[in-house]
Amino acid sequence: MAFDLTYDPAVIEYIDPEEGSFLSRNEPDSTNFQSALENGTQGKAVFGLTRLGGGEVSGSGTLLTLHFKAVGAGTTPISLSSPKKFMNGANPSQEVSIDSWEDGSITVQ
C-alpha cells in the first residue's frame, strides 16, 4: 500500500513513523517500509509499505503510527491522497479492496 499525507506545517510537524505489526504476522515474511517528506519539506509526507515473500495475513491490526509535533495553534486537515490499494501477495493480479480512505483533522490550542 502507498499513500501521501498532507497537512499544514504551520500547525504540526511530521516527526517519524512507526511500523505496526500487522504485516509482520506469520513469519518468516518480512516487510519493507519507506517514508519521506516530499522534496524534504514539511507539509506532505509519502509512505509505502509492503510485505515481502507473498505470505498472507488476515484480520485487523495496526499498519503504522505517525508521530507529529505541535508547532502552532490552529486546525489542520489531514488529507490522504494518491492512495494505492493493497495487492494480494498470493495472487498478485488480485487487489485487496479498501472500503474507504478517510481524511481527518488535528486541532492545536
CA distance 40 to 34: 14
Sign of CA dihedral 57, 60, 61, 65: positive
Residues 17, 14: Cα–Cα separation, whole Å: 9
Name residue 107's amino acid.
T
At 16-69, the pLDDT tens digits run 999 988 888 776 678 889 999 999 999 999 998 888 876 677 788 888 899 999
Question: For residues 7 and 76, what is the distance between their CA atoms, to the nearest angstrom?
Answer: 6
pLDDT by residue (tens digit) across 62-98?
Answer: 888 999 999 999 999 999 887 666 665 556 566 655 6
